[in-house]
Structure 1
Amino acid sequence: MDHLIAYMTGLGGSASAAQLRTYFTKRQLSRAVGAGAVVRSARGIYSLGALGDAERLSLEARAALFGRSAALAHGLGILHQPPAVELAVPRGRRVRRIPGTAIATRLLPPADLVGVGAVRATSPVRTVLDCAAMLPFAEGLAIADSALRQGLANREELEAGAGQWVGRNKAALRRVLRHMDPRAANAFESGLRAACLEAGVHMEPQATIRTARRDYRVDLAKKLRLVAEADSFEWHGGREALHRDCTRYNELVRAGCTVLRFSWEHVMYEREWIGEVVSEVESRAEVHNSRLVLPRSLPLTA
């Protein structure tokens, strides 16, 4: 069930039945629905149960959805579910404690709030800025990448907002804006890229590598032909998928690539170890490539 919830979180909290059937069985989905973790929100559409709780608690507290709860409301991909519904009220207002919520007091000009269903939430731009400033780098980067990818915010708007930022952690906010990239396919991949960046390794998302057999698009790559893949187990559930994956992997190695594969658990809980591995392998690859002339027929393009 954790993987199903993580998959839906990466898509912004909701998914069609067709999307879910691609990677999960009917039994897995039924189990998640029975546990209340997933709800059938419309014909053929399933949403995380936490979204309904967020709306109810937002109305009860007379507060705006904030942080990761706002990101989920806008359909932005996040790495981790917030432990409580994140809400915000204007500064100066007395806050009543409500179980299941984390209520912050913030400057909330009307321009930074939008309607989402029956409740209000911080706008996509404000949500990206808040999350970039207050969350760990990987979390903020995943949300910023998602906002750019979905067209809910653009660089100009985010840079303008950062220029007027009066809150804390402006350096953390700037760091996310410096590295955000709309090419990232999902939050899982953004988390992997963040781990590489934290280790000082800059990699291109969704790069295409030409091999002798065909062109392959990989999650992350570097010019020295270092590849890092965010490997979800749902992609390899059958014999045909395994065969296709083995062919792909071997063709990339045949083309001179060093391919590193990281699981969902690695990205969620072991990003420091990912950084150590990528950094060490990159150093080794630099030495190797300084002695190696690759065929011109095998370029890497972003």
Structure 2
Amino acid sequence: MRNTSARQRIEEQLDGAERLQRCLVPKTRADREALRRAVAAGVAVRPFSGMFMRASTWNALKTSPRVRWRYVQNTFLDEHPDEAVCSFSAALDHGLWVSKKYLDTIHLVASGRSHGRCGTGIHRHECPLNEIELNGTVKRTTLERTVLDCSLVASFEDGLAIADSALRFCKLDIQKYRDYVEALARCRSGAFCAEMVARYADGASESGGESIVRGLIVALGYLPPTMLQAEFVDPIDGGAIRADMYYELPNGLRLIIEVDGFGKYVGADGLGKEMQRRLVAERQRESHITALGIPVMRVQFSRVYEDGYLEHLLRRFGVPKVAPHM
């Protein structure tokens, strides 16, 4: 009877946490022990120290890593309201495109404490207090500081995705940001990468995947696209149709680059019907783009980090190399 009561209590607490899009932080030793048993049985998971979720809920969010990590980050901030997030954690709070490879650590402002890694899953960074703002109940670094901090340590393509999304969704002023980077990044580790991100950032990019592919093109030393989301008259129905990337090459030829990937079709909900609807619409768009008569270079996002894959495509489609490999 007692075990049934304990399970029911834990189920109710998990329900409440899920409604708030939070993990469950048990408050009693008995609840902690019950949740550890649930983890051992595969019913629950422990995504971060002291936090628990139903395994079914955690697994359902597998295709939405940013949504999943927000459960963890927001739970941590509920438990530590005086902390301020920075770097990739602040980028997540700003709603920017953060690669899932950076979603395993909570980044906090040092606030007088020693900076660096502070135990599993926590990293503290130095930051002036005048570059911290309040977003509701969350303390975070300003948009400019956040993009810069990420660009200093991320790969060029990942930093570009973050900067592109800051321009697209948060209306980052690109000229002011470039001035900001020039003033603050100089002589810091990663300064060259941060300056390149500021130079190539473009809010016309519609997804993190497109930004990453464009970043890799630049990093490999190839000519960047002439235009993002270039609009054409649809040759099938006369409407407007857009291409991910468009080139007017030096030899007078034109080229369209389309980025194909599962992430373009699956939303935060990951529902099958929604995926099918998006997939059908995307395939129709692709067929209409092909009818334009412009060569189309299709990039499989899942393969962009394969050795030589992207460079082989660029050479085959005549995109010239204009700079050394970054």
Find the aligned partners of 1:96 and 1:217 in 2 and give their Cα distance. Answer: 44
Secondary structure of residue in 2 paired with 1:256: coil
The offset of 1:60, in angstroms, is 4.3
- The offset of 1:160, in angstroms, is 2.5
More divergent stretch after superposition (117-126 vs 245-254): 245-254
Matches within 5 A, 1:13-92: 34-35=57-58, 38=61, 48-57=67-76, 60=80, 63-82=83-102, 83-90=104-111
Aligned-residue offset at 1:118: 3.0
Deviations 1:99-129 (A, max 9, x none): 222233x2x2222111234332111111111
Residue 219 (structure 1) aligned to one of 244, 262, 265: 244
Per-residue deviation, 1:35: 2.0
Distance in 2, Cα, partners of 1:127 & 1:272 = 32
Distance 1:111 1:189 in 2: 34
Deviation at 1:240, TM superposition (A): 9.6
Between the aligned partners of 2:174 and 2:81, the Cα distance in structure 1 is 33
The residue that corresponds to 1:132 in the other structure is 151
How many percent of aligned residue pairs carry the same amino acid? 24
Q: What's the secondary structure of 2:172's corresponding residue?
A: coil
- Confirm whether residue 198 of structure 1 aligns to residue 235 of structure 2: no
Cα gap change, 1:270 to 1:94, in 2 (>3 Å): closer
Of 252, 263, 267, the residue aligned with 2:289 is: 252
Say yes or no: does 1:189 pair with 2:210: yes
Q: 5 Å matches for 1:64-213?
A: 64-82=84-102, 83-90=104-111, 93=114, 97-104=118-125, 106=126, 108-166=127-185, 167-199=188-220, 200-203=222-225, 204-210=227-233, 212-213=235-236
Note if contact 1:37-1:48 (Cα within 8 Å) is conserved in structure 2.
no
Note if contact 2:114-2:124 (Cα within 8 Å) is conserved in structure 1. Answer: no
Classify 1:281/1:101 alpha carbon distance in 2 versus 1 (closer, same or farther; 3 Å): same
Query: Structure 1 residues 49, 160: CA separation in 2 closer, same or farther (over 3 Å shift)?
Result: same
2:15: which partner in 1?
Answer: none
Query: TM-score normalized by structure 2?
Result: 0.64
Aligned residues: 245
Which stretch shifts more, 140-149 or 226-235? Answer: 226-235
* Deviating more after overlay: 217-226 vs 162-171: 162-171
Query: Which segment is superposed worse, 51-60 or 192-201?
Result: 51-60
1:232 to 261, 277, 295: 261
Residue number in structure 2 paired with 1:278: 314
User: CA 1:219 to 1:66, structure 2 compared with 1: closer, same or farther past 3 Å?
Assistant: same
CA contact (8 A) 1:192 1:271 kept: no
Q: CA 1:112 to 1:270, structure 2 compared with 1: closer, same or farther past 3 Å?
A: farther
Deviations 1:158-202 (A, max 9, x none): 123112215322211110011000111121211121122223131
Aligned CA distance change for structure 1 residues 147 and 32 (closer, same or farther; 3 Å): farther
Contact kept? 1:201, 1:279, Cα under 8 Å: no
Larger Rg: 2
CA contact (8 A) 1:64 1:122 kept: yes
State the TM-score, normalized to the length of structure 1: 0.68
> Is the Cα contact below 8 Å between 1:57 and 1:101 reproduced in 2?
no
Task: Structure 1: state its 5+ residue gaps.
Answer: 1-13, 15-30, 40-45, 285-302
Q: CA, structure 1 residues 117+181, in 2 after alignment: closer, same or farther (shift >3 Å)?
A: same
* 1:148 to partner: Cα distance: 0.7
Change (3 A) 1:161 1:260: same
- Residues 272 and 194 of structure 1, relative CA distance in 2, 3 Å threshold: farther
